[in-house]
Structure 1
Amino acid sequence: MFRSPARLFRVLAIAEAITWTLLISALIARAVGLPATLVTIGGGIHGFVFLSYGATAVLLAFHQRWHAGVAITTIASAIVPYATIPAEIWLHRSGRLEGEWRLTETDDPRDRTWYDRTMRWFLHRPWVLAVLILVAIVVIFSILLIIGPPGGK
């Protein structure tokens, strides 16, 4: 399913937009008198996908060797409702999502750094990478739940 960086990113960009719809719908439902629990559920789902999108954007920023400005813009696109879709289109059209996962060392001197060797090790073990990212997301999500929702209760 995620045989390429572009495919993984597209799935998360679309999921982020869908969860924005879920959250906005829950907020509207609460405003017209439906239970506030809908916002808690929608917000939780959106928050988890938001963090997943951010983690994926960071992973791809390193993997695809994006400049800091591109990485920051991509991550920040999750803050604006539905902006992940134009961000994905921009990254795709500008060639920043091209190529497959870099699983083997090339003649590029950057492939010999400790960082790229570590990245290749994890890419050869995608389940280890997925579990590590999932644990990081769950920890951040838990901390944010303890802190409380944006704007207070």
Structure 2
Amino acid sequence: MSPRTLFRTLAFAEAVTWTLLLIGLVLKYVTGTTELGVRIGGGIHGFVFLCYASVAAFTWTNQKWRTGTGLLAIASAVIPYATVPVEKSLDRRGLLDGGWRLAEGGEAPKGALERVQAWVLRKPWLALGLALAGVAAVFSFLLFMGPPDTWFA
């Protein structure tokens, strides 16, 4: 899977999960019918949000984006549906082109981030397992913390 395909897939998934969360919020706060939509939609959205942020950071490193571009890609997940126009803009400007430059037979990594990325690209199944475990751990911690509006109450 190319950087472009991976980034585009997660950007779209992030937008879809915003829809689930927003439907849940309407059901809870507008119609007052159920909190189930927020629990389910919010949980799925939170998980995909973390995955998207990870993929955006990974793509940022691979594509050697400027700091502002990388931060914009990650921050776009906070605004409903913003990942889609950001992805379209990055694609149109050629910032998603090419393959994994640090993959086997590619460039030699320079610096800690690139060494980690090169390892991930050379051991993708192990890295995927560790990444999913890490995202699941963060996700579980956030579920334990409860809804964000209760963190500082």
Instruction: Give the TM-score category using the shorter length.
Output: 0.7 to 0.9
Flag structure 1 segments of 5+ consecutive residues without an equivalent.
none
Name the residue aligned to 1:70: 69
CA contact (8 A) 2:12 2:83 kept: yes
The one-letter code sitting in structure 1 at the alignment partner of 2:106 is E
Cα distance between partner residues in 1 of 2:127 and 2:90: 23
Q: What's 2:110 paired with? A: 113
Task: In structure 2, give the amino acid aligned to 1:40.
Answer: R
Q: Quick one: distance in 2 between partners of 1:112 and 1:50?
A: 28
Match of 2:100 in 1: 101
Distance in structure 2 (CA, Å) of the matches to 1:142 and 1:127 = 22
Alignment CA distance shift 1:29-1:112 (3 Å): closer
- Cα distance change of structure 1 residues 142 and 19 upon mapping to structure 2, 3 Å threshold: same
Q: How does 1:1-153 map to 2 (within 5 A)?
A: 3-30=1-28, 31-102=30-101, 103=103, 104-106=105-107, 111-113=108-110, 115=112, 116-152=114-150
- Residue segments in structure 2 that go unaligned for 5+ positions in a row: none
Match of 1:9, SS state, is: helix
Query: How far apart, in 1, do the equivalents of 2:27 and 2:132 lie?
Result: 30
Counterpart contact for 2:57–2:70, Cα < 8 Å: yes
Q: Is the Cα contact below 8 Å between 2:51 and 2:135 reproduced in 1?
A: yes
CA distance in 2, matches of 1:22, 1:113: 40
Identity of aligned residues (%): 44
